[in-house]
Chains A and B, each alone.
Chain A
Amino acid sequence: MTRLTIPKTYKLFIGGKFPRSESGRSYEVRAADGGFLANASLASRKDARDAVVAARAAGSGWAGATAYNRGQVLYRVAEVLEGRREQFAQEIAASEGVSLADAGRQVDRSIDTWVWYAGWADKFVQVAGAGNPVAGPYFNLSVPEPTGVVAVVAPQGEASLLGLVRVVAPALVAGNTVVVVPDEAHPLSAISLAEVLATSDVPGGVVNVLTGSPAELAPWLAAHADVNALDLAGAGRLEWVDLEISAADTLKRVLRPEPGVPAATLDRILAYTETKTVWHTKSLL
């Protein structure tokens, strides 16, 4: 006799907790063959507002951690994700309609991406920073710092877990906190990943996941004055130019849409940093 399973409820991930949408709404997530998979929370603009508040609150702690510490936390995420590889593969296979083997490979690439970025935490400053030889008695140092709160529209209709990891991980490396709208049609891996984050010593609020409609949520995030940067990676099918224009009101740093799954690059880390240059007088007298 087959055992009755306990279907998982997929909620939002805000401030380290898993609340439902304050709007009470949800939407059906369907499998590749059209069958019902789960009800996912349909995030509202108020959820987005709360997520930004949570992200901002988590910022000083995450940015204030040592680079070593952040690298360790990010590596822990990879460890936990590795341990749950099969579950993620099954979720992806069911949702995206790919073979279990291909789904497994997507999980592997996601884990490897995460490890790659974890390793950058205590290094990118050395590559992107500089001691500047100014023409005077000054110690002059340029150092990249996190920009703050990054709002992300993850790739839509691509490899859902890998796409998400490729846009979230690089923002975290420098100490930014993230509010991400994952793949609308395939949001389940995003919430499962949130569970991984919640159990990997990632402080609450560092990553916030708003499952739902990018078309509905992105304009609120783009206009939000307390969001410092906007990643439109997966916004190619939206009116993204309007989003960029809206973001310009508060001079947000904007990454434009790109097709497919973004590559894992150092530039994606640096895109969310501000270079701070400090001059110190120096003299023996």
Chain B
Amino acid sequence: MTMQTTALAPAERAVRLLGGDLTERSLRQYLEGLSGVDAVGLEQRAAGLATRSIKTSSKAAALDRIIELIDLTTLEGADTPGKVRSLVAKALTPDASDPSTPRVAAVCVYGDMVPAAVEALGAAHGDPDDGLVSVAAVATAFPSGRASLAVKLADTRDAVAVGADEIDMVIDRGAFLAGNYGTVFEQIVAVKEACRRADGSYASLKVILETGELTTYDNVRRASWLAILAGGDFIKTSTGKVAPAATLPVTLLMLEAVRDWHRLTGEYVGVKPAGGIRSSKDAVRYLVTVAETVGEQWLQPHLFRFGASSLLNDVLLQRQKLRTGHYSGPDYVTID
């Protein structure tokens, strides 16, 4: 009971919005005071956005943009340095037969694979805004998040120390579903601090909500705001290890949260749907949803990413069709 009134770590955004009296109680009251979500209406809006049709001359640009927003991902227990080298090569040159193909935004690997990724990238390692590829590491006992805070922070620091530019953390879903919003909040704040480098800069923090386990849209809305208030740079839908992963309605909902945050403060937070986006057609629908919800300004690597692996090849196939005029096949794109 005393936890209710104990002060939470004074994350800057939360203090600004909720005032100096930042406690479990005040945080809970704020989150529970957010407008509810009608699932039927939300899903219908997403379905409506999915009917938008892009003209052919815009399709090429859309496909390129999708590639530029991909975090090319491998997150398997069986990952090896060899696998990571193969992934990086694909990230840099997705389609060797077509040098006009852009690079992806980042590669996403387990923390202990970061050194292999950094080495493989070499001079191409850097900010996607500069045409380079960044390294994102999952951390905090990904995917379950079930470990002590100390372990999760160590996981984070280790990845940052070996060169990760971005950290994809998972929230404590158990704590969230038990209503311990303060616990979830403080963990995010701590992980954000663990992203601090010696030179004072921070790795960019993506907060994975694992929407498939939060289940309800009301929970996703609350978790989105919680993650933003705690200092996340991105809110991300899923680990990709639980179904359902990213869906258009849930992504729409999260875009509405960053939209509202921007209207409130003028600040920018990014959104990353991850898992389950396999076709270009689907990815284009996400682009449309972003454009009509927060604006095309968000369609850049620092504000939107696709967490995907097989999506890239489908986009390449579509690119090839546009280039050659006929349908392509799996033999004409490389596996990684």
Contact = CB atoms under 8 A, between A and B. Distances in A.
Contact of B216 (A136, A282, A285): A285
Contacts of B217: 285
A228 B40 CA distance: 37
A284 interface: yes
Interface string B28-71: 00000000001111000000000000000000000000000000
B41 A285 contact: no
A5 interface: no
A136 B39 CA distance: 13
Interface in A237-285: 281-285
Nearest to B249: A285
Contacts of B40: 136-138, 281-283
B216 A284 contact: yes
A45 to B, nearest CB: 51
Contacts of A285: 39, 215-217
12 contacts: A136-B40, A137-B40, A138-B40, A281-B40, A281-B41, A283-B38, A283-B39, A284-B215, A284-B216, A285-B39, A285-B215, A285-B216
Nearest to B215: A285
A137 B39 CA distance: 10
Nearest to B217: A285
A281 B215 CA distance: 18
Contacts of B215: 284-285
Q: How large is the interface on A (under 10, 10 to 19, 20 to 34, 35 or more residues)?
A: under 10
Nearest to A281: B40
Contacts of A136: 40
Interface centre among A138, A281, A283, A284 (most CB of B within 10 A): A283
Contacts of A137: 40
B252 to A, nearest CB: 13
Interface string B249-289: 00000000000000000000000000000000000000000
A281 B43 CA distance: 12
Contacts of A283: 38-40
A281 B39 CA distance: 8
Contacts of B38: 281, 283
A201 to B, nearest CB: 43
A284 to B, nearest CB: 7
A36 to B, nearest CB: 71
A239 to B, nearest CB: 53
A60 to B, nearest CB: 31
Nearest to A282: B40
Interface string A215-243: 00000000000000000000000000000
Given A281-B39, A283-B40, 16 more contacts: A136-B40, A137-B40, A138-B40, A281-B38, A281-B40, A281-B41, A282-B40, A283-B38, A283-B39, A284-B39, A284-B215, A284-B216, A285-B39, A285-B215, A285-B216, A285-B217
A284 B244 CA distance: 15
The 10 residue pairs across chains A and B that have the minimum distance between CB atoms: A283-B39, A281-B40, A285-B39, A285-B216, A137-B40, A285-B217, A283-B40, A281-B38, A285-B215, A281-B41
A50 to B, nearest CB: 47
Interface in B112-155: none
A256 B181 CA distance: 67
Contacts of B39: 281, 283-285
A180 to B, nearest CB: 47
B8 to A, nearest CB: 29
Nearest to A136: B40
A136 B217 CA distance: 19
